[in-house]
Structure formats: structure tokens, C-alpha cells
Structure 1
Amino acid sequence: MKAFYLVKNGDAHSAFELRDHNLPDPAENEVLLKTESFGLNYADVMARLGLYRECPPIPTVIGYEAVGRVEKIGSCVKNVKVGDRVLAFTRFGGYASHVLTPELAVIPIDDNIPSGIALALAVQYSTAWYALEECMNLHAGDKVLIHAAAGGVGTALIQLARRRGCVIAGTAGSQKLEYLRHQGVHFPIDYRNKDFEKELIKEGWGGKLDAIFDPVGGISVRKGMNLLGGGGKMLVFGGSSMSDAGNIVQKLKVAAGFGIWSPIVLMKRSISIIGVNMLCIAENKRELLHHCMSTVMDLYKKGELEPVVGKEYPAKELAEAHDFLGSRQSIGKVIVHWDLT
């Protein structure tokens, strides 16, 4: 088998090396698939830059999702068989021509589902489902703020919040605001040129937000906490602002920007902070991960969710795909196709 190893932190064009590797055998509850395509997530960019704590020591193979055909199954696997086309969540190892993953991290998919659509559902829509449906209890009319709203998880959160009848504000760069409007965001905010906290206060949302979904971290968390109303929840699922910090001093400033929140303050205001790391869920609650993946796939088949594939690359252009995702220009899902001929 072949795999793209992360061998060096830093520039995408020198970070990865294509290597041959022995084909692994699945354990009793594992599935081995031959990969058609794999997806990119912003955590991959963080891992490449050396900013993702969960990333194994280099050299290593990163990547969280793949679509392909089952080649081998373990002796206790019951829900998929050799030859099935499947979508897999991987705890690293996704940038490979073959992927090994637990059975509960795999769901069968129809041959007519494009790999890009399926890959968007694996991590991004499953993350959004867990964040919005499992961690929140939103109602029609609730005011919701979604940061990085034009990205893969952001798009998924918009669509799920719309299903709940929420009123949605979303942040993105100026070139993506029309996309947000098209997705159903009621109040798009250009985060580069405007302070989202001040803009929401001007709109009368100060102290009235019911939910905030924040993959940015740093000062945006502190500002968001100021906007929450009674019963409001801040859900943090990333720290992309750390990738913009050029040195240790700037990184410390980003970390300090999160603020320190006493349980007494949270109790007094009746607000809460929730942290989400889908790697933790995949490791410790595999049945829940399987539920999230299966649910969003079912909703897609019913036409209730519309994943957006932003850009597709051949495997030889992995570095370009990383650069594009890291540039903050992407909308929706970025995927890479293996050429297995």
C-alpha cells in the first residue's frame, strides 16, 4: 500500500512524503478498505503546522476519513462484507491507499453517492450533528452564531440550525457572505473588516444569544461569552486562530484570549461552555459516532441535508489541497482522489 507520511512540520510542499507500506491485516473488529478518496479537515492543517496536540509523532499518516471498497474484514465484523462501498472515520491514517478502522467507524454507502458528498458527511456533518443535536437543545426562534460558517462544519451547522427554525448569524470573509445568504444565514458578518461582537450588539443580539459554535478560539470565545443570554451555550470545537500566531508570544496571546471562566460566573449567568473533540468521541463512544454518521447519511438521502464540495484534487496535488484549505478561501469540503490504476 501507499501512504502520504507527514515527515516535517511547516510548508505543505515539503511536509509530505509518499511511501510504500506493508498492507495490514484487520483485527477481529476491524475493516480494511481500498481507498477511492479521502477528505481534508482544518485539523490536518494544524497537524502539519505542528499545532495539533493529538497528532502522533512524525513521521505519521494523518487524515480522518476515507471512501472505498472493503477488502478484508475481521472475524467478528457483521455489518459490512468484502466488496461493500463504505464511508470510514479514521483516527489518523486517512491519507493512504488502504485504511484500517473499527467496524463501528464504518457505514455502507450506495454506489451512486459521490465520494465528496460522503466525505463531507463523515467528519464535518457528524461533528455538526453531535455539536448541535447531541450537545444542544435548540428551539425555533433561538438565536445562533456560527463562526467560520462557510467551511464544511459551518455549512453543516447552518443546515441543521435551519431545520430547528433558528435565527442564524454567521461569520466569514467578505467574498463568502453571499454564499452564507444562499445557505440561509439571516445575518452574515465579514469578520475581517467588522467586529462581530459590536455588529451583533447593534442588531440587538447582545446578551440574547442562545448558542455559539466556535472553531476559531482565542478572543472570539471571550467576546462570544459576553453575548450569551440566560441558558446560552458556547460550544468550542477548534482553535484555528492558533495557526495564524507566528511565534510563541502570539500563541500565548491567543491562549489567553479564551479567558478564564469560573463556575460561579457560569452558574450566576446560567450559561455554559462545551468542548467538542470528535477524536475523543471516536475513541471512547464509537456507538455514538456510528449513530452520528448514520443519521446524517439518512438525512442526506431524504434531501434534508445538502453537503457542498468546494474543490477536488488528485493525490499528486495533496500539497496544493493543503495550501488551499489553509488559505481560508475554501467553501464546503476539500477532497483528494487516489489514482489506483
Structure 2
Amino acid sequence: MKAAYLIKNGKPEEAFEIREIDKPIPGHDQVLIKVEGFGLNFADVMARLGHYKDAPPLPAILGYDVVGTIDAKGEGVEEFNVGDRVTALTRFGGYAEFAVSDRRAIAKIPDDMDAGVGVALSTQYCTAYMLSIEMVRLHKNDHVLIHAAAGGVGTALIQIAQHHECIIFGTAGSDKKIQSLKDSGVHHAINYRKEDFAEVIRKIVGKRGLDVVFDPIGGSSVKKGFRLLGAGGRIITFGGSAMTQAKGLLGKIRVGIGFGIYHPVAFLMNSRGMIGVNMLRIADQRPHMIERVMKKVVKMTEEGILKPEVGGEFSIDELADSHRFLESRKSMGKIIVRW
């Protein structure tokens, strides 16, 4: 089979190499999936740049989500059959014609579901559900801030927040994305390149503060978001995209310091909370949570509650282009790379 290997950190056009390797063999509780396409996530960019500590040593096959059909299954797999079309989370290895996944990290999808929609469910929509339902519980009229709101996870969070009738604040970095947020029903869309999101929100919510902040950016964005929380508010951090924009070691140090330093007493006295979410860690230690969430997001999509959007489609020969597109922050919705 063919697989796209990350052979060096750096520019996308120099980082990948297509190699011919043997098909993996599924072990106990695993399935082998013939991949139609795999998704791109910001963690892929961070791994390519050498900023993702969970990435395997080079040369490595990246890829956290795929859509395809089950080609083979190992012992212990009873609820799935060869030929079933599935969306799946992969602990790396997704940039290949065949990929292995744990049986608890896959869900059946309809044969007529677009592959881009299917692959969006496994990472973006599972992440959004984990953040907004498993880690916090959204309620009607909650004031919610979603950073990178035009991206894959951001789009999913908007749809879940709308389902719970929340008041939604969303940030994005271009007028085109801001218009897209407004069209999707975001109540307060803020272009962070033109305005300080914290100042804009503070003028609107006053002392009430926000109930929930979803932050995949990191750095000073987290510190600002924490200060916007009202009593009972929570900030959920689930990424560090600011690190990819940092230049040199000094820039990375600035991003790290920008997160701020927090004493437990501050959480207690102000009744605020901070939760960090790493989906790989949850998949490793709480696979039953992933299984539950996978089934739930597929069901909500079939019911029309969730409506995944495809933000870009590329062929495997355009892998470098797909990375550049995601890194440019011009994408809206899920990016899929097809074999």
C-alpha cells in the first residue's frame, strides 16, 4: 500500500514522501480500514513543524481521522463487519491507503454520506461534542465564546451551541469568515485582526461575564478569555495554534508565558474553572468515552442537528497544498485529502 510519510520538519513541500509499505494487520479490538480519504487537523501542521510532542519520531505517518470501508478485523470485534463504511479516529497512521483503528473509535456511516462530511465527524465533531457536552454542559441563554469559529471544530461548536439556544460570540480573522459566521447565526462575530475581542465582549456582557470559552489558540488568548468569565464560568483549552505562528525560540517562549500563571485560590474565589482537553489522551485512557461520542455525533448528523461543512478537497498529490491551505487560516470547515 501507499503511505505519505513525514520525513522532516519544516515546509510542507519538503516534509512528505510517498512510500510503498506493507498493509498493517489489525490486532485485538482493531479493524483495518481501506481509506477513501483522511482529514487534516491543526495538530498535523504542528506535528509537521515539530511542535506536537505526541507525534511519533520521524519518519512517521500522520493522520488522526479517516473515512472508508472495513477491510479486515481482529479478534474481539463483533459489532462491525467487513465492508461496513465507517468514520474513524486513528492514533496516527491515517495518511495511508489502509489504516488501523480501535473498534471503539469508529462509527458506521451511510454509504451515500459525502466522505468529507464523514471524516469531519470523527475529529472535529467528536472534539466539539466532547468539549461542549462531556466536559461542560451548555444551557439555554449561556453566553459562549468560540475562537477560530469558522474552522472545523468551531463550526461544530456553533451548531451544538445553537441546538442549546446559547448566545454565541465567535472570532475569526477575515471579513469573509466574519460574514460566514453571521450567516450561520452567530450573534456577535468579531474580527480579531481589527478589534480586541476582549474589549468588544466586555462592553456587551458587562459584569455578567461569559459562561463558557472554547479556546484552541493558546497564549494570551487564554488569559484574556479567563478574565472574561463570570461566576461559574469555564474556559476549555484544546489546542495551541498560536505556537505555529511563533517565530523562533523566543516567540515560543512568549506564547507559553502568554497563557498566564494561575493559583488555585483564584479559581475558588472567583468560581471559575479551566479544563484542558487532549483527545489522544482521552482515547488512550477513556476509550469508552470516544465510543459514546462517535455514535452520538453520527446520530445527531442523521437527525439534521449537526451539519458538517467541507472546507476543501485535495488529492494525495496535493498534500503539501492542503497543509498550506490549512496553515493559511483561509479554510472554513473540514479539509479532506483523497487517495
- 1:139 is displaced (CA, Å) by 1.3
Could you tell me how far apart the structure 2 residues matched to 1:108 and 1:211 are? Answer: 32
Could you tell me how far apart the structure 2 residues matched to 1:242 and 1:205 are? Answer: 31
Could you tell me how far apart the structure 1 residues matched to 2:273 and 2:205 are? Answer: 21
Task: Specify the alignment match of 1:303 in structure 2.
Answer: 304
Equivalent residue letter for 1:152:
G
Find the residue that maps to 2:205 and give its secondary structure: coil
Task: Specify the alignment match of 1:146 in structure 2.
Answer: 146
Task: Specify the alignment match of 2:217 in structure 1.
Answer: 216
Find the residue that maps to 1:313 and give its secondary structure: strand
Does residue 77 (structure 1) correspond to residue 77 (structure 2)? The answer is yes
What is the CA deviation profile of residues 254-273 of structure 1, one whole-angstrom value per residue up to 9, with x for unaligned ones? Answer: 00000011110110000000
Could you tell me how far apart the structure 1 residues matched to 2:324 and 2:338 are? Answer: 16
TM-score by length of 2: 0.98
Find the residue that maps to 1:132 and give its secondary structure: helix
- 1:206 is displaced (CA, Å) by 5.1
Could you tell me how far apart the structure 2 residues matched to 1:172 and 1:266 are? Answer: 28
Q: How does 1:158-307 map to 2 (within 5 A)?
A: 158-173=158-173, 174-205=175-206, 208-307=209-308
The question of whether the paired residues in 1 share the 8 Å contact of 2:38 and 2:337 is answered with yes
CA, structure 1 residues 131+319, in 2 after alignment: closer, same or farther (shift >3 Å)? Answer: same
Q: Which moved more, 1:21-30 or 1:36-45?
A: 21-30
Task: Specify the alignment match of 1:56 in structure 2.
Answer: 56
Could you tell me how far apart the structure 1 residues matched to 2:24 and 2:227 are? Answer: 50
Does residue 112 (structure 1) correspond to residue 112 (structure 2)? The answer is yes
The question of whether the paired residues in 2 share the 8 Å contact of 1:62 and 1:94 is answered with yes
What is the CA deviation profile of residues 88-114 of structure 1, one whole-angstrom value per residue up to 9, with x for unaligned ones? Answer: 100111000000111111111110111
Could you tell me how far apart the structure 2 residues matched to 1:201 and 1:302 are? Answer: 36
TM-score by length of 1: 0.98
Task: Specify the alignment match of 1:130 in structure 2.
Answer: 130
CA, structure 1 residues 56+207, in 2 after alignment: closer, same or farther (shift >3 Å)? Answer: farther
Find the residue that maps to 1:203 and give its secondary structure: helix
- 1:13 is displaced (CA, Å) by 0.3
Gaps of 5+ in 1: none
Task: Specify the alignment match of 1:314 in structure 2.
Answer: 315
Task: Specify the alignment match of 1:20 in structure 2.
Answer: 20
Q: Which moved more, 1:284-293 or 1:152-161?
A: 284-293
The question of whether the paired residues in 1 share the 8 Å contact of 2:202 and 2:209 is answered with no
Equivalent residue letter for 2:308:
P
Could you tell me how far apart the structure 1 residues matched to 2:312 and 2:23 are? Answer: 30
Could you tell me how far apart the structure 1 residues matched to 2:26 and 2:207 are? Answer: 53
Could you tell me how far apart the structure 1 residues matched to 2:96 and 2:68 are? Answer: 11
CA, structure 1 residues 5+206, in 2 after alignment: closer, same or farther (shift >3 Å)? Answer: farther
Structural RMSD (CA) = 0.9
Could you tell me how far apart the structure 1 residues matched to 2:66 and 2:142 are? Answer: 35
Could you tell me how far apart the structure 1 residues matched to 2:55 and 2:314 are? Answer: 23
Could you tell me how far apart the structure 2 residues matched to 1:110 and 1:221 are? Answer: 39
- 1:205 is displaced (CA, Å) by 4.2
Equivalent residue letter for 2:44:
D
Find the residue that maps to 1:273 and give its secondary structure: strand
- 1:71 is displaced (CA, Å) by 1.1
- 1:207 is displaced (CA, Å) by 5.0
Find the residue that maps to 1:310 and give its secondary structure: strand
- 1:177 is displaced (CA, Å) by 0.5
Could you tell me how far apart the structure 2 residues matched to 1:206 and 1:89 are? Answer: 41
Equivalent residue letter for 1:291:
R
Find the residue that maps to 1:78 and give its secondary structure: coil
Find the residue that maps to 2:275 and give its secondary structure: strand
Gaps of 5+ in 2: none
Q: Which moved more, 1:200-209 or 1:49-58?
A: 200-209
- 1:209 is displaced (CA, Å) by 0.3
Could you tell me how far apart the structure 1 residues matched to 2:44 and 2:206 are? Answer: 34
Count of residue correspondences? 338
Find the residue that maps to 2:257 and give its secondary structure: helix
What is the CA deviation profile of residues 189-226 of structure 1, one whole-angstrom value per residue up to 9, with x for unaligned ones? Answer: 00111100111112234551000000000001111111
The question of whether the paired residues in 2 share the 8 Å contact of 1:207 and 1:227 is answered with no
Task: Specify the alignment match of 1:37 in structure 2.
Answer: 37
Find the residue that maps to 1:96 and give its secondary structure: coil
Could you tell me how far apart the structure 1 residues matched to 2:2 and 2:264 are? Answer: 49
- 1:79 is displaced (CA, Å) by 1.1
Could you tell me how far apart the structure 2 residues matched to 1:205 and 1:152 are? Answer: 30
